[in-house]
Amino acid sequence: MLGAAVCLSANALAKPPGPGGFCATYPSAPACNGQQPACTLCHTAPPQRNAYGAALEPHLAPGAARPLSDGDFSMALPAALRAVESEDTDGDGASNLEEIQRGTLPADASSKPVDSGGCGEGQNPQYDVCRYDARFAYRRVLLDFCGLSPTYAQLQAFAALSGEAQRALLDSELDRCTTTEFWRGKNGQLWKLAHPKIRPVGSLKEGEDRGAIPLADYYDDYALYAYAQLDDHDAREVMTAKYYVRRLTGPTRYTRVESLPTSQFVETSRRAGNLTSAWSLISFVMFTALPRNAAAQSYRAYLGLDIAKQEGLHSVLGEPRDYDAKGVQAPACAACHATLDPLSYPFRNYNGIAGAASARYVPNRLELFFSDVSPTITQTPEAGYLFGQPVRDLTEWAQVGADSDAFAISAVTDYWKLLVGHAPTAEEHEEFVATWRRFKDTHGYSVQRMLHDLIRTEAYGAP
């Protein structure tokens, strides 16, 4: 939630309409392309303001009684934003407007626009350092997808090809390398991408490589993730699959199965890909009544939005209700929990650790196991909200999330970091947006097709 905070005596409030007002004022800003700015644009942590938020406050309906209503705040925000456009609130030499337009942060002196400069005279004898160089991309493709450097003979043969033939070989080598163990095998590149989503704990592992306290087999999660990324499959199914995936070895293959009766226990109609795997429920729900951690992890892992970093906040009117009496209506908590708690309600009936009922969907879970948590805990609904949109249950939550721009942005960002070496920079923004939009709108969420686009970007192929 972006929003310049406003004050009444010592109480500062972060305003829910902030992101929409910011993006209505600056619709072409990189921060508004398929997403919303994080609260950290104006806040250190709601309700405390950073330098940019502090600069905005005096221009927000000066003289009006505080706190402003959401309606008054929305009306006043565009003029306040424009009033500080020419200022340099973080002292980095770039105006607030330039930073907004180029995708850097007006309250962070370490985040500022950088001019890459033009090409100088002369030529690098190996690569064209000024623009995309297919020879450089060829070396990277073999390293990144096969884990091997090209031989001198391969480089010489590649250099002798026409431009069209070089492009064709890049595509064929990418397709060849993504069949290797380095890319798809156990602990290969795809598994590395899945680590922060699955968050494995070896001591709790069941099945292969069994740990000391075996609770669930997270290799099932890796298998589904890898399957969704490969062979023109739909990457969204990591969130929406009603099926499971079995990993076969020698060489590694992933095959779809309708059930894994010894390791996965959620009934078909209630499955939502890896969101409802036994490991996710055991690890992220555990013993909690309202599974906020499971919701936050799913939001972060598959939609790229970290509530702890004040990202992706879409406050729901009347929230948080605090059904479990955790004190989340306190001003320092409510700004995030007005989004997090409605995100969590659809996880209501998914059980974590509870003997024979572990890692299952239990229709009356709160009534059966948690009725003593608070007087209102059993009033917790199963319907909730994602991106401010009502959802009936977790399967709808997963489908709305999987169809969102946030999913496409997050998925392509994962590969951008892996292959380019860093998150998309302001200078790479245009190529990055074109890549995730084609992944979503043209390639049908096929990672394999998207990768062919990514290796064509200047971000990847320019030395």
**With bands split at pLDDT 50, 70 and 90, how would you rate the model's confidence at 69?**
confident
pLDDT of residue 5: 32
pLDDT of residue 11: 37
At 194, the amino acid letter reads A
Q: What is the pLDDT of residues 15-60, one digit of tens each?
A: 556 777 888 899 888 888 777 888 788 888 766 889 998 898 899 8
Helix (H) or strand (E) holding 229: helix 219-229
Q: At what angle do helices 163-177 and 134-141 cross, to 10 degrees?
A: 10
- In the predicted model, is pLDDT for residue 345 greater than 90? yes
Give CA separation, 158 vs 145, 155, 176, 421, in Å: 17, 5, 16, 24
| CA atoms of 130 and 107, how far apart (whole Å) | 32
Q: What is the pLDDT of residues 102-111, one digit of tens each?
A: 889 898 998 8
Of 223, 256, 255, whose CA–CA distance to 242 is shortest?
256
pLDDT of residue 48: 81
The single residue listed with the structure tokens 């031989």 is 151
Of 299, 313, 303, whose CA–CA distance to 46 is shortest?
313
**With bands split at pLDDT 50, 70 and 90, how would you rate the model's confidence at 461?**
very high
For residue 350, give the 3-state DSSP assignment.
Answer: strand
**The pairing of beta strand 6-8 with beta strand 11-13:** antiparallel
Contact by Cβ (8 Å): 49, 103: no
Contact by Cβ (8 Å): 413, 304: yes
| CA atoms of 226 and 220, how far apart (whole Å) | 10
pLDDT of residue 117: 56
Helix (H) or strand (E) holding 44: strand 43-45
Map out the domains of the chain as residue ranges: 6-102, 134-177, 189-270, 299-394, 405-461
Q: What is the pLDDT of residues 229-286, one digit of tens each?
A: 999 999 999 999 999 999 999 999 999 999 999 999 999 999 999 999 999 999 999 9
**With bands split at pLDDT 50, 70 and 90, how would you rate the model's confidence at 128?**
confident
Token pair, residue 420, equals 């380019």
Q: Give the residue, 119 or 255, on which the prediction is more confident.
A: 255
